[in-house]
Structure 1
Amino acid sequence: AMPRLVPSALVLAIALGLAACSGDAAPEAAPRAAGLETLTLAPAAAARERSWDGVVQAVNRATLTAQTAGRVVELPFDVNDYVRAGEVVVRFTDVEQRSGRAQAEASLRAAQAQAAEAETEHRRIADLAARQLVARSQLDQATARRDAARAALAAAEAALRQAGEQVDYTVVRAPYSGLLTERHVEVGEAVRPGQPLVSGLSLGQLRVEVQVPQADIAAIREHKAAVVQLPDGRDVPAREVIVFPTANPQTHTFTVRVELPEMETGLQPGNTVKVRFKLGEAERLLVPVRALVRRSEIAAVYVVSPEGRVALRQIRPGHVFGEQVEVLAGLSPGEAVALDPVAALAAQRAAREAGHE
């Protein structure tokens, strides 16, 4: 009669076709392996970690404000639109600003003419003074008029630059690429300097803020290493871990900021993610992920005995560290695990058939 199995092991055995096919035939002794590639388990050093939930934030987020007065004539983007750096997000009327620039240009031309006349007059008086044909006071007066004309010219140039900036302020451009999150004005609305126009954030660089109990903050400060688990299962090592210096007096928790590398993560500001912080070192049994056999929620590996017999054994997996997974229960140091489950199953069936013969 077929030996009794725990339900989970029975389900796994049936799913893999490892149970006996006929009800009256007892299973053979564990078959022997034939040249299987195996890994002998030994405790390996791994990070001792603890995880908490964190909130995703955008590093670059800003509200653009008006730097000149005008009336809104164009809002090319709406909320949730993607905007590239340098694209126009708001445009104002610019009649007054262009008129101011034209006036500044005219004032500059007048100042240039006056400065040129004053320079010519100064050179003439200086030549006469050198030949002692005019009084010294006339040279002093000519020098003062020249210096005043130079100052007026510099003021006119500055006024023209300012007028040009006022024209430029009528076109508001995105400082970086990102999403438009809010519009504070509408087309046709009159705005004044300092009034908020649009808000946006960049998805190119994100960070996660986590509230950590004070009992673990010393270990986090020591190691400053963290891993963010993405919704698709990927692990992203933190670019930098910043521990705030003071605790919240109400919750007695510290804020820890985890900087993410610039990469496509699929995260959005406001999402919650799991963040694992390194608290120290620990020894763990690790097996390659490719050695696991999974059926539903059951995990197992093929164990190869010193005599070469292959047996399927259920295990309890833990954290995944890259291409390896931690074994919490089911295996012991020194045991050998088949690295190719398909080859191990084939070897097991071949040995069973040879045993029947």
Structure 2
Amino acid sequence: MKNTALAKAGIPLIIVLIAIVFTVVLVKSKQPPEKQPTEVKAFLVDAAPVSRQTVTFNVTSQGNVLPSHSTELSAQVSGKVVSMADAFVAGGMFNKGDVLLTLEQQDYETELSLAEAELAQAQAALTEELARAEVAKTEWRSVNSVVPPELGLRKPQLAREQANVKAAKAKLERANRNLNRTQIRAPYNGLVVQRNVDIGQFISIGSPVATVYSTDVAEIRLPVADSDMAFIDLAQGIGQQNNVTLQARVNGSVRQWQASLVRSEGVLDAASRVSYLVARLADPYRRESNQNQPPLRFGQFVEATISAGEQRSLFVLPRSVLRLDQTILTVTPDNEIKITPVEVARTNAEQVYISAGVKEGDKVVLSAVPNPYNGMKVRLPDEDADAPANTKPATQDVPSKADNLEVGE
């Protein structure tokens, strides 16, 4: 019975030992896996060849529309206001030479009549003195054969009467001027901004009667930063027609007008460090020109685009390709990254303009490349994406890209 029990207990142990031996034999007989090389694909980038383009830079600015002439009309004589033109109100339009208001004229007409009478008297006295001088000359010749003296010919008396005539003429001219000055006329085509007098009001000499603006020409004073002045050719731009585009919102719509750059104020503002250019627009209120275009009113704020620069040959690229250290990434013929320093002529929110550093046909990387370094292998979209750019055994260490990074990246 005991032998039978031992036999039953030993069978499982024998099975376990056989399993262990079999497992050990299998493990010992296992062959190591074959090592396969690992393919490392180059980084895919988007690159395009570049070429120079002819560029004319535009400079943007803004300013208020101002009249070319702003005048405060004043009375040159005193008197009571007796009449005013219908257009002599705030906002009224007038033409050059129009009578805006008239002062009481009776006193000045009386002075004119007195001046005319005084002139007539002086001319009569001169005529009488000329006759007396002729008589004195005849009498002297009948008595003496020598040259008569000036007093004998009444020359001093004649000169006095001639001076009296001249003075009377001057008084008449002044009386005429004063009478004309009772009518205050428009000095140019314009509009009334402010009226300071009314019917029945007495005004004295020098009293301001109104403020008027000329509507013949409008001027826009445009501030330009010193960095932007390099892109404006003043020698060629000043005097050129329609090289300034003005834009403003009028009655809910965006409108444009073409103006001309006429001058530079020639002084750098000490406070703002900007230079001021002046653009001019003829007939801003469209009184004589195209009536379909809305008027550009004085005081309107406008945005201006100045196209007065000389043409330049530059590489125009997306703004995103320029790095912080003023370099760009190019692809060599061997499909390797090259960090290229460039000279930047100008940048804006969308584009960068490069004057030097790259050549015609160079391939510039347009896509983002994380941690680029000189000699970094890349592939282009038009190449076979399945062709490996670099094949290394799995057991070989790959050099760290961080070891080749340049300062500033």
- TM-score class, shorter-chain normalisation, is 0.5 to 0.7
**8 Å contact kept, 2:215–2:283:** no
For 1:199 and 1:235, the matched residues in 2 are separated by: 27
- The RMSD of aligned alpha carbons is 2.8
2:143 alignment partner, SS class: coil
The answer for the alignment partner of 1:276 in structure 2 is: 305
Pick one of 109, 119, 127 that aligns with 1:98: 109
Quote the residue 2:138 is aligned against: 127
**1:212 match:** 224
Whole-angstrom distance in 2 between the partners of 1:270 and 1:235: 15
Letter in 2 for 1:119: L
Residues 264-303 of structure 1 mapped to structure 2, 5 A cutoff: 264=286, 266-277=295-306, 278-281=308-311
Residue correspondence of structure 1 range 8-87 to structure 2 within 5 A:
45-76=54-85, 77-87=88-98
Aligned to 2:182: 170
Tell me, yes or no, if the aligned pair for 1:104 and 1:163 is still in contact at 8 Å.
yes
* Preserved CA contact (<8 Å) 1:46 1:281: yes
Larger radius of gyration, structure 1 or 2?
2
In the aligned structure 2, how far is the partner of 1:93 from the partner of 1:261?
37
Deviation at 1:174, TM superposition (A): 0.7
| 1:155 and 2:167 aligned | yes
**Aligned-pair CA distance for 1:52:** 1.1
CA distance in 2, matches of 1:139, 1:282: 86
Tell me which of 224, 241, 246 is aligned to 1:229.
246
Aligned partner of residue 57 in structure 2, secondary structure: strand
The aligned counterpart of 2:323 is: none
- Could you give the per-residue CA deviations for residues 184-234 of structure 1, whole angstroms, max 9, x where no partner exists? 222222112111111211222111101111222243335536412244544
| Residue ranges of structure 2 left out of the alignment (5+ in a row) | 1-50, 249-253, 287-292, 315-349, 352-409
Q: Is the 8 A contact 1:203 1:268 kept in 2?
A: no
Tell me the alpha carbon deviations over residues 148-184 of structure 1, each in whole angstroms, 9 at most, x when there is no partner: 0011001001100101111111011111121111112
Paired residues of 1:126 and 1:139 also in contact (CA < 8 A): no
Shift of 1:283: 6.9
Could you tell me which residue of structure 2 aligns to residue 258 of structure 1?
Answer: 279
Question: Does the 8 Å CA contact 2:259/2:279 hold for their aligned counterparts?
Answer: no
Contact 2:137 2:152 in 1 (8 A): no
Higher helix share: 1
Distance 1:134 1:90 in 2: 67
Supply the distance in 2 between the matched residues of 1:104 and 1:134 (Cα, whole angstroms).
44
Change (3 A) 1:233 1:189: closer
How far apart, in 1, do the equivalents of 2:218 and 2:150 lie? 70
Question: C-alpha distance in 2, partners of 1:94/1:111?
Answer: 26
Equivalent pair of 1:70/1:190 in contact (CA under 8 Å): yes
- Aligned partners of 1:111 and 1:152 also within 8 Å: yes
> What amino acid is aligned across from residue 271 of structure 2 in structure 1?
Q
Q: Secondary structure at the match of 2:131?
A: helix
| Count of residues in correspondence between the two structures | 245
TM-score (norm 2): 0.55
Change (3 A) 1:261 1:177: closer
How has the CA–CA distance of structure 1 residues 223 and 75 changed in structure 2, closer, same or farther, with 3 Å as cutoff? same
Q: Distance in 2 between matches of 1:242 and 1:218?
A: 16
Deviations 1:105-156 (A, max 9, x none): 1111110110110010011111222223599458446111111001100100
TM, length-normalised to structure 1: 0.62
